[in-house]
Amino acid sequence: MKFLLSFLFLFYLSTGTFSFENPKIRVGNFLIHKYEVTIEEFSNYAKKNNYLTLAEKTGGGYEWGSGWEKRKGWNYKTPYGKKPDSPLEPAVHLNRFEAENYCKFIEGRLPTFDEWKRAAYKQHLPSKMFQINKIYTYPSGDRAEKMNSQGILSYNKHVDVTLLPEGINGLVAMGGNVWEWIDDSKGDESLTAGASWWYGGSKTKESGAQYKPSNFYAIYVGFRCVFDNK
């Protein structure tokens, strides 16, 4: 698997194209992306639509330092200001509206919090690892484990989504790696869930969801899409 990913990444660097497809997993009456939307996926969308993100237009994205600090040249293509280790890292430095527009383009939408919770904590599918119809505390099960969170996997940054293990319903990184935009809003703020690598496992619980300004974008926040069952 590692050899294949290395080969594909070299192919991507030489051609600018990639063959990754983000599977959709059925959860009740909707489908949800197995992985967080990747740099490669969002790049293809942006190229087709001649789309510039707010981080690109304003010269950079945000990271927490002494408060929120803007980092020159940080955007979804260069999340840490340089070429990413893999095009399959999650697409970050995108606000709620930019994430929403992407989902609409591929005939999906952002999940509601109710949908996201059902996918992240309740096992709907037959599984050797998880009990069907059981509601778990974490997206990884009864315990906070195997997630890209501080004190667990502790990469200390987000990583290629295909390097992380599956959790509830076969979904990857519903806890840890990056926060995910949710459709639920309150005034000028939208909900994010799942927490990022910056936090410990406790933030990946349902209670850890946080509202952020809808036009906010930072290194810690990405998204995945859901699709209505047609």
Tens digit of each residue's pLDDT (9 = 90 or more) over 53-65? 999 999 999 999 9
9 pLDDT band, cuts 50/70/90, is very low
What residue spans define the domains of the chain? 24-228
pLDDT for 153 equals 95
E strands, the chain, are 24-27, 30-33, 60-65, 67-72, 179-186, 189-193, 210-213, 221-222, 226-228
Name the band, by pLDDT with cuts 50, 70 and 90, for residue 3. Answer: very low
* pLDDT at site 10: 44
pLDDT at 194: 98
Q: Mind giving me the DSSP string for 119-145?
A: HHHB--S--SSS-TTPBPSBTTBSS--
Instruction: Give the pLDDT mean for 30-52.
Output: 98
- Give the model confidence (pLDDT) of 171-227 as tens digits: 999 999 999 999 999 999 999 999 999 999 999 999 999 999 999 999 999 999 999
> Average pLDDT, whole number, for the chain?
93
Confidence of residue 18 (pLDDT cuts 50, 70, 90): low
pLDDT over 90 at 15, yes or no = no
Which residues face 138 on adjacent strands? 141
- CATH code of domain 24-228: 3.90.1580.10
pLDDT value at residue 13: 43
Question: What would the pLDDT profile of 196-211 be if each residue is shown by its tens digit?
Answer: 999 999 999 999 999 9
User: How far apart, in Å, are the Cα atoms of 135 and each of 56, 123, 127, 229?
Assistant: 40, 7, 14, 22
**Each residue of 68-97: pLDDT tens digit?**
999 999 999 999 999 999 999 999 999 999
